[in-house]
Amino acid sequence: MATVDLKDIKKSFGKVDVIHGVDMEIADGEFIVIVGPSGCGKSTLLRMVAGLETITSGELLIGGKRANDTEPMDRDIAMVFQNYALYPHMTVADNMAYGLKIAGMPKDQIKAKVQEAAKLLQLDHLLDRKPRELSGGQRQRVAMGRAIVREPSVFLFDEPLSNLDAKLRVQMRLEIKDLQAKLGITSLYVTHDQVEAMTMADRMIVMNGGVAEQIGTPLDVYERPQTIFAAQFIGSPSMNLMDGRIDGGQLKVNDVSLGPVDTREGDVTVGLRPEHVFADSAGVLRLNVHQSEPLGANTLLHGTLEGKAFTASLPGVHRMPGNDRDMSLNFASENLHLFDPKTGKRI
């Protein structure tokens, strides 16, 4: 159990800067999800914490001690890899015991620990199998078991669920979260899946292009996204964006007035989540629906609003009598997000 502090961590490969300085203090036992599109540097950041990549500049503290130049084995971490990275010629038990064996722990102790972890992960009946005889979900559990038996201070997960099918992913997601809560071990979890980020994280880092766009709790990011990128990345379907203008304290999109706001005058980008609009014949927003997607619990209406693509998510089944229809929508003003169109930052 330990805290992890990232102080202006940067990484460049040759002349290419991949990570432009990430600052974060992770409390003991916290579950942190690093989320972002592929190529945003999230895996690199994790691998720097693991010690598999060198840190170009900045400082990494694990448990308050500088760990920049420490070997991975001395950082007291355990890592779960995307493709599990199980040793193919070893049994499940040997896979889980390998780290302890290297550490020179006596055999009977190793056996007890492996048994304990296997029971926790419901792997007890599989201990003598080879990885190739296991299903994807079981392999995933073995990889977790290998991490658990070492009782590390920090767990690192590198997209551990991306090779599983959708149903198993939901189940493993809950199991991992559960396990982490039970063991109380500080965890860093990399994913490109915003649902995983929303459901698992105590706090998340939204990364884009090597920059931490926002660090905060899932609801924080959802409710008060600090940048346009974070606003669009978190939430499904993505937040709608409109070009607006504040004129004399009134927010306008084209000629439609969205009500009074008390911020700076001038051009703004207006964000409104699809689930934050509702049908209202007195509403000011007029959506021209091109297509509807009934999902059962809600219906997605895709169309244009003031000349830009707009998606609305309305509760329940919403039958549209044919496409190309106008409908009026309304919203609550506290659900409007305003961004500076130049910097992409929240106003």
Partner 1 sequence: MAYQSDGMVEKSGASRWISHAIMILGVLFIFFPIWLAFVASTVTQADIVRPPMPVLPGPHFWENYKAALFSGVNVPVSVMLGNSLIMALGIAIGKIAISLLSAFAIVYFKFPGRKFFFWAIFITLMLPVEVRIVPTFEVVAGFGMLNTYQGLILPLIASATATFLFRQFFLTIPDELAEAARVDGARPMRFFWDIVVPMSRTNIAALFVILFIYGWNQYLWPLLITTDPSMNTIVMGIKQMFPSGDDTANWPVIMATSILAMIPPVVVVISMQKLFIRGLVDSEK
Q: Which is nearer to partner 1, 147 or 234 (CB)?
A: 147
Q: Which is nearer to partner 1, 82 or 298 (CB)?
A: 82
Nearest distance from residue 53's CB to partner 1, in Å?
A: 10
Is 96 in contact with 142 (CB distance < 8 Å)? yes
Nearest distance from residue 86's CB to partner 1, in Å?
A: 8
Q: Which is nearer to partner 1, 81 or 278 (CB)?
A: 81
* Chain contacts with partner 1 (rule: CB under 8 A): 50-52, 71-73, 77-79, 81-83, 85-89, 98-99, 102-103, 130-132, 146, 150
Burial (CB < 10 A; 0-12, 13-18, 19+), residue 129, is middle
Q: Which is nearer to partner 1, 12 or 330 (CB)?
A: 12
Q: Which is nearer to partner 1, 152 or 210 (CB)?
A: 152
Contact residues for 338 (Cβ-Cβ < 8 A; gap 6+): 244, 251, 261, 263, 268, 269, 270, 271, 346, 347
Nearest to 233 by CA among 23, 32, 33: 33
Runs of H (alpha helix) within 121-193: 136-149, 166-183
Q: Which is nearer to partner 1, 95 or 240 (CB)?
A: 95
Nearest distance from residue 190's CB to partner 1, in Å?
A: 14
Helix, strand and coil content of the chain, in percent to the nearest 5, comes to 30, 35, 35
Nearest distance from residue 267's CB to partner 1, in Å?
A: 47
Q: Which is nearer to partner 1, 95 or 194 (CB)?
A: 95
Nearest distance from residue 95's CB to partner 1, in Å?
A: 9
Strand residues in the chain grouped as ranges (E): 4-13, 16-26, 31-35, 57-62, 65-66, 77-80, 154-158, 186-191, 203-208, 211-216, 240-247, 250-253, 256-260, 266-272, 277-279, 285-294, 298-305, 308-315, 325-331, 337-339
Quickly tell me which residue has 């190793």 as its tokens. 110
Q: Which is nearer to partner 1, 131 or 244 (CB)?
A: 131
Nearest distance from residue 72's CB to partner 1, in Å?
A: 5
Nearest distance from residue 218's CB to partner 1, in Å?
A: 28
Distance (Å, whole) CA 69 – CA 14 = 19
Nearest to 189 by CA among 88, 199, 89: 199
Nearest distance from residue 172's CB to partner 1, in Å?
A: 18
